[in-house]
């Protein structure tokens, strides 16, 4: 997992250089502008990751820390509105030359909170009022703040993290469905009342209908990916980044990968995300406690779902949403929290196979000893996870 994550992050630095050098030269006269910034962020990110790796995740399971994090996130999300809009949205807090995106942090904070909260509600996960409503309320509050920025993509990611964690923890599907219905209505309303969202939706359905205007990003993205072919045009040989493809170094970096490295390169990246998924899930499921498991699961799915969603946008499988490709896209405020998440996951994975004597949490090992059926399924899952990994890592 460490290899997969750091590999992706380093690859990201290189790809950011390839995708941004022309633009950087145009804007700043320095083709390495974005490259250097991304490299600095990567170093910071790695430092944070190593710190998180050595930071016992169980110390996060602390009421004060969890709520402090949550409150801090909310405050930062509110603070965002005090800063001027960039690209038409209040997403950034600019401090001393650095800009941070609280919405990226909120994913981490939400995952920690939910893991803590759901673990506390162990045994009554199915409860509507005791578990479901508070979890939804916190998620909803964060998501609403993020939507207000506006950053629908990240809000959706928050929802995904919440749904995945609640579902895995044991929330009844009926409750989730109840929450999904108004959310769905909300999304539809938003599509109808925010004109550019509607346009995006229409262009998603038929991007070629208006390749000059609203379908521009999607069309340019498809052209980039398609013209790459099987082998690609070669690293740094991409042409779409010559201002055809918008956000080539951030949200649409996967299109540059597809163009320059071809089908083989794109599939390799997808595969590495797959490996990351397997490794992350193995760490989560091998966690000695529920908190670790849920936290790990939340963090891994947050990253992988975001990655898949970003790639799907690039390939025009889903409507355009501005979210970056984890590890690879330019931007420290995305990279650093992602690497911190990886650090936490790595820390959780160190506890794999151990047991905590933390009673009442339904530790896995005691469960395994007692019943055959469930244990078998757990072992099966473990094997499933292990076999392909040994294949890849020998």
Partner 1 sequence: MATLRNMRATSAALSKARPDASRRRALVVISLLVFWMLVITTRLVYLQTFQHETLARRARVQQQDAIETSPVRGLVLDRQGRELARSVDTESFFAVPLDIKDEEQTARALSPLVGVERSELTARLREGKEKNRKFVWVARKLDAEQAKKVEALKLEGIYSLKEPKRFYPNGQLASHVLGFVGLDEVGLGGVEQVYNERIQGEAGKLFVETDAHRRAYSSLEVEPRPGQSVVLTIDQMVQYRTEQALAAAVQNSKAKSGTAIVLDPRTGEILALANAPSFDPNDARASAAECRANQALQNIYEPGSTFKVVAYSAAIEERLVKPDDHIDCQMGSINVAGRIVHDHKAFGNLTITEALAKSSNVAAIKLGLKLGDERMYDYIRRYGFGARTGVELPGETSGLVRPVARWQPTSMGSIAMGQEVGVTPLQMAAAFGAIANDGVRISPHLVREIRASDGTVTYQAQPEQRRVVSAETAKTLRGMLESVTVSGTAKKAQVEGYTAAGKTGTAQKIDPKTKTYSATKYIGSFVGFAPVENPAVVIIVVIDEPAGAYHGGDVAAPVFKEIAEQILPDLNVAPDTEIKMENPIASALGDAKAAERVRAELEREAEERAATLPQVAIAQGADEVVYAPATARGVLMPDLRGKSVRDAARICAQLGLQMEARGEGRAVRQTPAPGAEVEAGRTVRIEFGRSD
Contact 235, 256 (CB under 8 A): no
By the rule CB under 8 A, 356 interacts with partner 1: no
- Kindly list the distances between the CA atom of residue 107 and the CA atoms of 62, 102, 157, 303, 337, in Å, as whole numbers in the listed order: 18, 9, 8, 10, 9
Distance CA 83, CA 374 (A): 52
Rounded to an integer, what distance in angstroms lies between the CA atom of residue 130 and that of residue 214? 45
CB of 84 to partner 1, least distance (A): 27
Interface residue with partner 1, options 226, 354, 386, 387 (CB under 8 A): 226
> Which residue, 64 or 370, is less far from partner 1 as judged by CB?
370
Nearer to partner 1 by Cβ, of 111 and 169: the residue is: 169
Judged by CB under 8 A, the residue of 31, 150, 170, 319 near partner 1 is 170
* Segment lying near partner 1 (by CB under 8 A), choices 27-35, 261-269, 319-327, 338-346: 261-269
Q: Measured from the CB atom, is 46 or 351 closer to partner 1? A: 351
Is residue 179 part of the contact set for partner 1 (CB under 8 A)? no
The helix (run of H) or strand (run of E) holding residue 313 is helix 290-314
Binding to partner 1 by residue 284, rule CB under 8 A? yes
Instruction: Tell me if 167 contacts partner 1 by CB under 8 A.
Output: yes
Check if the beta carbon of residue 321 is closer than 8 Å to that of residue 89. Answer: no
Determine contact, residues 91/145, Cβ cutoff 8 Å. no
- Among 266, 283, 339, 345, contact with partner 1 (rule: CB under 8 A): 266
Contact stretch for partner 1 (CB under 8 A) within 81-89, 93-101, 134-142, 166-174: 166-174
CB of 301 to partner 1, least distance (A): 6
Give the x/- contact pattern for partner 1 in 1-40, rule: CB under 8 A: ---------------------x------------------
Q: Which of 226, 111, 84 has the alpha carbon at shortest distance from 165?
A: 111
Q: Is residue 120 a contact point for partner 1 (CB under 8 A)? A: no
Q: Which residue has the tokens 């936290």?
A: 295
Burial string for 135-146 (b: 16+ CB within 10 Å, else e) reads bbebbbebbebb
């Amino acid at each position: 997992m460490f290899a997969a994550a750091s590999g992706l992050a380093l690859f990201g630095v290189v790809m950011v250089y390839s995708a941004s050098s022309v633009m950087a030269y145009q804007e700043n006269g320095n083709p390495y502008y974005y490259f250097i910034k991304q490299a600095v962020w990567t170093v910071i990110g790695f430092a944070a990751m190593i710190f998180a790796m050595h930071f016992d995740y169980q110390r996060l399971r602390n009421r004060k820390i969890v709520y402090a994090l949550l409150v801090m996130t909310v405050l930062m999300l509110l603070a965002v509105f005090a800063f001027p809009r960039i690209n038409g949205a209040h997403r950034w807090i600019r401090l001393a030359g650095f800009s941070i995106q609280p919405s990226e942090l909120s994913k981490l904070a939400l995952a920690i909170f939910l893991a803590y909260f759901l673990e506390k509600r162990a045994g009554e996960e199915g409860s509507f009022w005791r578990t479901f409503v508070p979890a939804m309320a916190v998620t909803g509050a964060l998501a609403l703040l993020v939507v207000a920025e506006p950053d629908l993509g990240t809000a959706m990611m928050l929802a995904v993290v919440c749904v995945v964690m609640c579902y895995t923890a044991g929330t009844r599907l009926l409750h989730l469905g109840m929450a999904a219905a108004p959310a769905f209505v909300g999304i539809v309303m938003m599509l109808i009342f925010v004109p550019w969202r509607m346009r995006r939706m229409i262009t998603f359905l038929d991007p070629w209908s208006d390749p000059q205007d609203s379908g521009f990003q999607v069309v340019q993205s498809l052209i980039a990916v398609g013209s790459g072919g099987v082998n690609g045009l070669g690293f740094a040989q991409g042409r779409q980044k010559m201002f055809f493809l918008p956000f080539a170094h951030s949200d649409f970096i996967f299109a540059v990968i597809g163009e320059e490295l071809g089908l083989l390169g794109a599939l390799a990246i997808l595969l590495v995300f797959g490996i990351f998924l397997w490794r992350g899930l193995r760490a989560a499921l091998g966690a000695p406690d529920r908190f670790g498991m849920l936290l790990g699961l939340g963090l891994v799915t947050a990253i992988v779902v975001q990655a898949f969603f970003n790639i799907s946008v690039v390939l025009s499988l889903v409507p355009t949403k501005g979210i970056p490709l984890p590890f690879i896209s330019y931007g420290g405020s995305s990279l650093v929290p992602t690497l911190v998440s990886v650090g936490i996951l790595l820390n959780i994975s160190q506890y794999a196979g151990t047991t905590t004597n933390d009673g009442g949490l339904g530790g896995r090992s005691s469960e395994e000893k007692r019943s055959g059926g469930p244990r078998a399924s757990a072992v099966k899952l473990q094997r499933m996870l292990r076999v392909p990994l040994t294949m890849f890592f020998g």
